Structure 1
Amino acid sequence: MEREPYFFLSYARRDDRGSAFVGRFYDDLVEELDRLGADCSGQQPFLDVERIGLGMDWESTLGSEIGHCRALVALCSPSYVNSLYCGKEWAAFESRLLNYREQTDIEVPALIPVLWVPLHHAMPSEISRYQYFEPAMGQEYLEQGLMGLLRSAPGGRAYRAVLELVAKRVRHVADLFRLPRAQDLDLRTVRSPFEGREPAGPGGRTTGHVRVFIAAGVTDPLPTGRQRREYYGPSPLDWTPYHPPVHPTVAYRAQRVIIDEGCTSSLEVVDGGLGEKLDEAMHHNQTSVLLVDAWAARESQYRAPLSDYDRQNHPVTGVLVPCHDTDEESGDEELWTDVQQVFRRNWMRRNDPYDPLFQVQVERHRFEDRLAQMVVVAQNRLMEKAVPRRLPAGLSAPPMPGLSVPFTPPSRTDDPTDPPGRTPLQKDQDDEH
């Protein structure tokens, strides 16, 4: 049977960095649906961190899930309306609703906006045309948003009231309607309807491209001294550094953070040409991030290029070394002493709050925040050091129209009979008549 997720939870990663409130709401919503008698077991709802597995193409997976899900629950916030992929998810699902309405003349309320964080200004029309508030949800919901209610009183009456209403609407549309599927949906071709409509916060949005370089182990062979195979895959891009191993990969998580910061990204594996690639990126006004597996950094494959990076000056490149305190193997002091030897020069500025481009032993709940800060700081530094670009070769622009000699105002006569405001030219023309 083809997958039809009972609902798709669409949210901005910026709103869930280190807080786990999105995961808590997802679990509560599934539990409430079960209490209402909905059977989600056959068509598991979609939350990206749970349903995108090792080695999967995340863009293709998101497109497939959006193209087949029965309902979409959108956690609306300033970050949501500034997230490129949240907008794409919204637009792709909305197009399925419009197709169904054209075919049946039935309006299906399957796009369910939830006020997650109050917006600074009025709700964009693209969202407000869908009902996102009912009186039973209460004034606290409008003032604080659902994340505020969940933060202050996770089992409170106000939060439960909103949760129950959202669950009832999801069950209603998921059980009664079958929207036309969007086969082979490619989110790269979908345009966001409200991207950039709401200020995302202090400093606004950045633009640019971030090159992400991965230095990580693989399953065969494992890095020297490593025993746990579940953190790795056949490629360094499959690395999942946190315990218990959580999919999607760290590369996927990094790309989503970068997208939420308004930048594009590309993935590469660290090799002997790292230094030249970092210089090339800066020359093309691009920033870079190195995601480094502490275990793999000691291997000859990576040790030399990473040490070369450490000896050179790369002001718009950040380094992030993930770690989780429950990974007993990574608690070895000898491991981190070896990493220190690889990054001798930069080690002195590790985890400096005023210079956040070198972060080590970054735990899972801090990963998104630290990486986002790194991207913003690197982009800001790039603006100061950007390479100016020349205009393309070609004919020179024509000169601007203007006077060839300085303008000399006409002299006025001293005739006291001239009316106020009449110029000598006007007087001469009157004399001719």
Structure 2
Amino acid sequence: MPLERESYFFLSYARQDDRDDVFVSRFYEDLVAELDRLGEDCSRQKPFRDVERLALGADWERMLGREVGHCRAMVALCSPAYVHSLYCGKEWAAFQARVEDYRERTDIDVRALIPLVWAPLRGPVPEVISRYQFFEPEMGREYVEQGLMSLMRGDPTAYRRALRLIAKRVQYAAGLFRLPTVKELDLGAVRSPFPAQGVMAPTGRSTGHVRLFVAAGAADALPAGRLRHEYYGRSPLDWTPYHPPVHPTVAHRAQRVILEEEYTSSIEVVDDTLASKLDEAMRENQPSVLLVDPWAAREAPYRAPLSDYDRQNHPVTGVLMPFHPSDDESGDGGLWDDVRQVFRRNWMRRNDPYDRLFRVLVDKEHFDDRLAEMVTVAQSRLMENAVPRRLPSGPPAPPMPGLNVPAQPPPGDRDDPPGRPPSVEDPYDDD
């Protein structure tokens, strides 16, 4: 195979983790830039990322097979969604076979398969993943506890530290070793080592996946009337209503809560296709949660899709509006008058203890519990009409060991110092 046809590395990841391709794209570009800084010119062996190299109309399965069969290293962004992805498992198995083939030929165990903690792995992890070393002490404890995607959002120093070590590992594998290539690798015929993709989760749950949608402002385009920049970042996904945040963003905090409830999740920004996406999620037996910034909800581009949501029936979608007592701007009654106009139909059930899918003025102390309740209620409703998922044929998968990671800090270390924040009253509790 000509040298220019070999990708320097293949980026394997689950699209559910980053549907808008914000963080995967940035990591890919940062890794290529870091390799360039180390003196590696990847221009002749351009790294492979599917959204860049798969043209419209391409035979994507054939092209993925060719790239996995010829790349010089594979970087796997491991997460709960990754281990539930059929094609991530196929990519892993095909590349691992090339590594094992090289070891049999040379008796050299080259570390060309590079798994990374993209989002924290909880619960059972396939043995083919847990046997690999995810962590080097120099990467820092934050990397294992939060994952690279979280570090990108809230801890640039820790992210850069981990990125430099990752680039050195890729450089070592791709620069010094040449794995045997597979001329015509048929991914369709490769069996994933990850068990039971797409199977209904145990204990009566649905697919075990929650879709998160964020409607929030950004630092360079504050919502009308908003003066305080510290609650916003470069994109809506960087919104931090509980400032200063211990968890970098409210979206990340929501994912942590959902992981603790033993579900996977994905994050998207609200747009004009929201209604169709919510319908799609319901057909797939997946509940949804809208994390809404009340300031941003009042105007374009969010007002129309949120009002459209309000007019329709979405029985397995929750709405949660965070609020920090120290945010004096958000105590303005005019703000909530406007929000009530956006959610005319659902506003009547706000904070109803018997209907927990529409929550406003949720403070930091109660965010985790309110979100967990919301997911539980939505899942229960889904199960009433869930579409059954047929188990794959074949023997059951063997028991899987979990991934050992440092213990999580106790709740007191993750939140504000002890002490209950001032109570926040609903300005419309007389309605």
**What's the TM-score once normalised by structure 2's chain length?**
0.48
TM-score (norm 1): 0.48
**Structure possessing the higher radius of gyration over alpha carbons:** 1
